[in-house]
Chain A
Amino acid sequence: MKWMLAAALAVTSLVPFATSHAQSGVRHGTIVDMKPIDNRGDDESEQHKQGKQRGNVLGGLFGMVAANKTESPIAARVVANGSQDMGSRIGGAVAGEGPAAHYMVKVKTDDGKTLALVQTGKGVEGLSVGSKVSITGTGSATELAAE
């Protein structure tokens, strides 16, 4: 994650007057919108990851059988590796994407401010639109809890 550090340093020069404001205490609000973030990038749900692992193992077994029928050792290795990759992809597809890793949660605070936040799937468990929440922390470190 060196590049993130580099990015953080770059931002220091980009926004010299912006300072992270650590709000003290707890704020209160109501969730007014909540959507799974489908644009996953490198995010991967446990369900998808496990599916890929299972596919990888099955693909590997299939590859071993197929490779044994191949006389060339190089071709055998290509078949074995290709089968694992294919198995991994198929396993992931069969398992499905599973629940989103992140959610967009929009909260209207009791003092009238609207905050659009990114929360992890675990962070929004038990929460839905209309939920009254307490808000601790700020920005990326914000945590919501049902009241």
Chain B
Amino acid sequence: MPGLAANAYSKASSKVADSWLGHDASELLVQWPVDRGFTSYEVGKTGEMAYEYNFGSEAYSYDSQNTQAVGQMNNTLILQTTYEHHDVDAQHHCTVVFYANADGIISRYEYDGVKCAPYISSWGKPKGS
């Protein structure tokens, strides 16, 4: 696969993805998640149907506070509390695309990302296989 990131490939991921080859795309749709990060489209040049799964984490934010002694007056410590707001960006971990031919049979796939193996392994091989 040209352009595939070197760190995306894993034998375990490919083994799971390979197991879908020859299976009906309908099995994939029922088994893998379609609630978010999923999209499908028809590929104009080949007439294939592409099923694309995007995995990652959504952006979130949290507040933290830190209290430390900044001085002393007589026997009393002077404390200062610092409040901080943190924004954590969304992260893209992996994109997996399965392609189905005109008969609806999965004939090839692609995957890429910095962390594919956990997602591909957890959603797994066809249940019937």
Contact = CB atoms under 8 A, between A and B. Distances in A.
B26 to A, nearest CB: 4
A79 interface: no
Interface in B34-73: 34-45, 47, 49-52, 54-59
Contacts of A42: 35-36
Contact of B36 (A10, A13, A41, A138): A41
A6 B45 CA distance: 25
A24 interface: no
Interface in A1-56: 1-8, 10-11, 13-21, 23, 33, 35, 37-43
A140 B110 CA distance: 19
A104 B25 CA distance: 10
Contacts of A2: 58-59, 89-90
B69 to A, nearest CB: 26
A118 B38 contact: yes
B33 A23 contact: no
Given A4-B36, A102-B34, A11 B52 contact: yes
A21 B48 CA distance: 10
A140 B42 CA distance: 9
A32 B43 CA distance: 22
Interface stretch (B13-21, B77-85, B94-102): B94-102
A116 B59 contact: no
B30 A35 contact: yes
A114 B44 contact: no
A10 B95 contact: yes
A116 B90 CA distance: 30
Contacts of A4: 36-37, 54, 90
Interface residues of A, number: 43
A138 B41 CA distance: 6
Contact of A118 (B34, B42, B102): B34
A20 B45 CA distance: 9
A10 B87 CA distance: 22
Given A4-B54, A11-B97, A39 B112 contact: no
A37 B44 CA distance: 27
A101 B38 CA distance: 14
Interface of A: 1-8, 10-11, 13-21, 23, 33, 35, 37-43, 101-102, 104, 106, 112-118, 138-140
Interface of B: 3, 24-26, 28-45, 47, 49-52, 54-59, 89-92, 95, 97, 100, 102-104, 110, 112-113
Top 8 A-B pairs, shortest CB-CB distance: A3-B90, A21-B44, A114-B104, A7-B54, A41-B35, A139-B41, A2-B90, A116-B25
